[in-house]
Structure 1
């Protein structure tokens, strides 16, 4: 490694930027031409768990069917939209499960709706696929006290011209010839005013690092020391852009294997993870804990953020109302809302996915993960769902088992 031009920081000598950018472009080109389903060792689309989860409960069978990409989505029309619900969707990862009466009935195909506007919204999946994610050199900003099994650093990189910070852990011991496999760790919503780079998720990161993974936990814009303003991950592409630039940055990191990159996400981070999966085929495996993953209609109607972790209106920026004012409701303009929803692009996912969710989660409905698993299975994807009886939003009561499954999943797909 060489010294950074900034005092006190270290710049790692990395793979060339053009090499990493070309890797991203070529992978997207290959992916867009052909996106075969990834099969599990026991068959495609397995859904399993510590309790019976292979069938979605009758409650969720009423949820809207998740549409195919745009060419197949235009025949969909949402039914029913509760007035005034936009204010309910702030960009939190906390909410209460909906009552059975609040679940949306399945839509019926109708005449093709007309999309509003001719220019793709920056949040649209197709727009995000057209972007470049060049990443940057990884700068070591601070060396933290080491663990007996791994080294820890506060590091930074560039994303959209902003300096984004994160927690970097690097395993000890002899590095594999190809480099260590990598896990990009997408944390859930924590109020930016109290978020600290080295706090929260300590046990999660520790488990992966001790099992031979480089772990990088980006702070997102406006979190910790990261530049930029914190805005909603559900109404802005910023967090996903930062995460995908982190993928490129870690591909260039000399101790990492650029071809073995996985992603882990919790709650809001689970939403970011799913969005990243439908955009970028470089992600080879993903685990999502209690992800906020549902159609925008269901997020608006059936997910009601409450409690102490509810973000202030300034964080949300009022995007639901702004979107509805400009584009109409999901009922009025399904083409637009589908265009920004990763749920509409599930058939394009190539990476295997593991979903974990506690049955006592009062922040994000268990039904969201159940419906996602069902749709992934219907699309022939390699998806596993594990439920944890009595466990909360953090799966605290089933943490040891859930982490063992997560480590085992990444071991199989990133080390196997």
Structure 2
């Protein structure tokens, strides 16, 4: 299939979108079918979500009075990831990338550790970029999850440079996570077969590494997550996996919260994604793809959510955002959806959407 393109200040790169796919904040994806809401207007509807929660069912009794054990949680699944213990630490400041009157930008690494279902632990060193506002702090902080960029061409901090600088200039520590298998991060040879759930673990552990760091003046009780496109899907899964981790979250131009949608849009027929389809397609193994979706477990989410989407997004179709918003509200999540007259990359509406997002963080992290 033809994948969405990406433009940047240096050169155009052809990107491949995967199961969590989508483009970075610099992607060029204009046109498409507009969504029904008007621009710059939050929507919150209580229309029922399509799926029910997939949390493990409590034990029930049979007609004979015998106890029926609930189905076990699938190890490769969103709820399987929730059963693991996640620890982030050893955040190290590296070279200074940029210094302005408003902030200093550093190359960083941290350790992302997670327990394994069969026992033991996996540990990866993850690279990234950290912007720290000028001043003593402590500052509120936002962990950034970028959109899909082919790991073979991805460079440290790529994909959310605008957002990172915008946040830091407004007084937020901004940590851009490269994810495993990207830039200078360690490689996980099994990351595709495990449906890239490791990206979600890396974002969760980035929050914990920031809190554990003695070198970054972060207010532990004022933290948020912000993801674009594929990163929006990563953020939604992080909210399900570890409720209460942060105080707010903002998925922008997010992929679908049902992985079957992402399969049809980005994966079907692409041989590079063979490891992800080794479990079968959604038609062949619907339970597996559902279990690797965030939507069925939205009732675990405790944080307020601001979704931001362009009415002309032809990479992550606007109906996906509407369906995710309906499901969030039906699950009892404090969620709103803001629409803008823009495409996937957010060009003309970028500043307005960022101002709205920062106002949301200001209110929720006060």
Fold equivalence (TM over 0.5): yes
Name the residue aligned to 2:285.
Answer: 329
* 1:203 correspondence with 2:154: no
**Cα gap change, 1:324/1:279 in structure 2, threshold over 3 Å: closer, same or farther?**
same
* Offset at residue 259 of structure 1 (A): 2.0
Which structure would you say has the larger Rg? 1
Structure 1 distance, partners of 2:282, 2:320, is 27
**Cα gap change, 1:198/1:379 in structure 2, threshold over 3 Å: closer, same or farther?**
closer
Q: Secondary structure at the match of 1:181?
A: strand
Structure 2 distance, partners of 1:363, 1:369, is 12
Structure 1 distance, partners of 2:53, 2:302, is 15
Q: Which runs of 4+ in 1 moved over 6 A?
A: none
* 1:275 correspondence with 2:237: yes
* 1:181 correspondence with 2:140: yes
CA contact (8 A) 2:76 2:195 kept: yes
* 1:319 correspondence with 2:271: no
Structure 2 distance, partners of 1:72, 1:119, is 9
**Cα gap change, 1:304/1:225 in structure 2, threshold over 3 Å: closer, same or farther?**
closer
Q: Secondary structure at the match of 2:164?
A: helix
Instruction: Point out where structure 1 has 5 or more consecutive residues left out of the alignment.
Output: 1-46, 74-114
Q: Secondary structure at the match of 1:144?
A: strand
CA contact (8 A) 1:233 1:268 kept: no
Alignment size in residue pairs: 309
Query: Residues 207-249 of structure 1, C-alpha deviation per residue, up to 9 Å, x if partnerless?
Result: 1001111111111111111110484498132111111111110
* Offset at residue 123 of structure 1 (A): 3.0
Equivalences for residues 143-292 of structure 1 within 5 A: 143-159=96-112, 160-175=122-137, 179-229=138-188, 231-232=191-192, 235-254=195-214, 255-280=217-242, 281-292=244-255
Instruction: Point out where structure 2 has 5 or more consecutive residues left out of the alignment.
Output: 1-36, 59-68, 113-121
Of 333, 354, 363 in structure 2, the residue corresponding to residue 403 of structure 1 is: 354
Cα RMSD after superposing both structures: 3.2
Structure 2 distance, partners of 1:55, 1:256, is 35
* Offset at residue 53 of structure 1 (A): 4.8
**Cα gap change, 1:141/1:202 in structure 2, threshold over 3 Å: closer, same or farther?**
same
* Offset at residue 344 of structure 1 (A): 0.6
Name the residue aligned to 2:345.
Answer: 394
Q: TM-score scaled to structure 2, two decimals? A: 0.76
CA contact (8 A) 1:353 1:382 kept: yes
* 1:362 correspondence with 2:362: no
Structure 2 distance, partners of 1:164, 1:186, is 13
Of 139, 142, 148 in structure 1, the residue corresponding to residue 95 of structure 2 is: 142
* 1:381 correspondence with 2:341: no
Q: Secondary structure at the match of 2:88?
A: coil
